[in-house]
A and B are shown apart, each in its own frame.
Chain A
């Protein structure tokens, strides 16, 4: 377990900033406690200082996870965001897409969303923007295998 290097932090922030933009500083600098990012076995965990101090007592090979896993670094040092980060990203998301109840199930099982399945969408969302998908009840949706958001093409309004 170790803190992230400058390079790794930059790559991770760039990825997260695609979804939440400037609100990222609210994740870094929280009023209700010190939270930090730590790297363990190529995965980035967002963990409070208190939990971190407890986790430090566990040896590295026995430690499975701590805090919330935001994502992992691949072998070529690219950052992949995981759905476990959704709880922290959803409140700060800049571009949101609401889908109708009918299309919701289809989406959850991994299909693209057609234009007709979209309920609302934030203004000024441009192509290939990272978005967070909500159901009509304002519940952020997650989906296997890895991420909840994919680039969204507005031609046929087909979204995956």
Chain B
């Protein structure tokens, strides 16, 4: 019994081994070509299995992919490995396949002004040494650049030249000359770039002093000059009657088109809530008009009583005072359902009684 179990186990183990080997080994008629630097495997076997498969070769494609990947992995396992931070890493060889260009070939740039001149004159660049012997410091120094051999700004003693003003600062003069040379070089470099990219230098866009400039050109030049300070024109004073330049504020920023719809809705509802809360519950106009009408009615009732008693008051009303918009239209027909007040006449604001006396008198007649 046990022997049989052991035999069975051994057989099973053997079968497992064979299966594993079968899984790992793949038989191909033509060997694959590997470019392990790019993790690339090229299979040149004719795809007869796929052609036989028919309309949906899914299973065959999957089997093919599995086989080829297995072969690639087998190759990777054969590479030299090393250990990097607790991970076993295979070192890939250099890629052998040449990949195509990502971006198009760069256009040839136009020659700079010096290059054009040199070509014209036939000037070839002379081969110069990098280091020059500097007598003053007694060592080899660069021809140009940091700590160069002959730097005239670094001299500690300058003789005043024959025809120069003795009070002039020669050191400052040399430093100033150097700054000007650097600035000129930079300008020429930018001009070369602008010519290469067929653009204008932003500072000189359209501004070339010809002596015959229009008002707009001069204005533009003035604006640019004003902004060309270290503080970008913030502390430049304007002439007494000069107006501020148009369009010099910050550009407006708007919400994005598809912003958060929920947030937009919420802010709009909030705005509505605030608007509704601000509206006064008591409409002042209506309240005063209502009050005035009540007073009118009281006065009318009083008048009727007095006239019933036989006395006649001339023209004028009692304490009610003078108002615009008389009673006649009030007592008349009202539109169905009009409760509250009816604005008879132009709006009566509380307290405004201009010319009411005359109108009132007219009506009563």
Which A residues are closer than 8 A to B by beta carbons?
1-3, 5-6, 9-10, 13-14, 17, 22, 24-25, 28-29, 34, 36, 38, 49, 52-53, 56, 118, 120-127, 154-155, 157
Give 14 new A-B contacts, CB below 8 A, not counting A14-B275, A28-B265, A154-B342: A3-B254, A3-B255, A6-B271, A10-B271, A10-B275, A25-B269, A34-B261, A36-B265, A56-B257, A56-B258, A120-B336, A120-B337, A121-B337, A121-B338
Interface set, chain B 299-346, CB cutoff 8 A to A? 335-346
Contact B271 A24 (CB under 8 A): no
Shortest distance from the beta carbon of A76 to any chain B beta carbon, whole Å: 17
Picked from A14, A28, A120, the residue with its CB within 8 Å of the CB of B268 is A28
Residue of A nearest to B344 (CB): A155
Contact A29 B346 (CB under 8 A): no
- The answer, yes or no, to whether B7 is at the interface (CB within 8 Å) is no
Contact B343 A9 (CB under 8 A): no
- The answer, yes or no, to whether B217 is at the interface (CB within 8 Å) is no
What are 28 residue pairs bridging A and B, where the CB atoms are less than 8 Å apart in the complex?
A1-B257, A2-B255, A2-B257, A3-B254, A3-B264, A5-B254, A6-B267, A9-B271, A10-B271, A10-B275, A13-B271, A14-B275, A17-B275, A25-B269, A28-B268, A28-B269, A34-B265, A36-B265, A49-B261, A52-B258, A120-B336, A121-B337, A122-B337, A123-B338, A123-B339, A124-B339, A124-B340, A155-B345
User: CB-CB < 8 A to B57: which residues of A?
Assistant: none
Which B residues are closer than 8 A to A by beta carbons?
254-259, 261, 264-265, 267-269, 271-272, 275-276, 283, 285-286, 335-347
Contact A3 B342 (CB under 8 A): no
Q: How many contacts between A and B, using CB within 8 angstroms? A: 78
Picked from A124, A155, A157, the residue with its CB within 8 Å of the CB of B346 is A155
CA distance A25 to B254 in the complex (A): 23
User: CB-CB < 8 A to B259: which residues of A?
Assistant: 3
CA distance A38 to B265 in the complex (A): 13
CA distance A126 to B289 in the complex (A): 12
CA distance A43 to B163 in the complex (A): 75
User: CB-CB < 8 A to A38: which residues of B?
Assistant: 257
CA distance A9 to B335 in the complex (A): 36
User: CB-CB < 8 A to B343: which residues of A?
Assistant: 126-127, 154-155
User: CB-CB < 8 A to B267: which residues of A?
Assistant: 6
Residue of B nearest to A154 (CB): B343
Picked from B256, B265, B275, B335, the residue with its CB within 8 Å of the CB of A121 is B335
Q: Which 4 A-B pairs have the closest CB atoms?
A: A2-B254, A3-B255, A127-B343, A28-B268
CA distance A120 to B335 in the complex (A): 8
Contact A22 B276 (CB under 8 A): yes
Contact A9 B286 (CB under 8 A): no
CA distance A125 to B283 in the complex (A): 13
Residue of A nearest to B341 (CB): A126
CA distance A10 to B347 in the complex (A): 27
User: CB-CB < 8 A to A120: which residues of B?
Assistant: 336-337
Shortest distance from the beta carbon of A141 to any chain B beta carbon, whole Å: 19
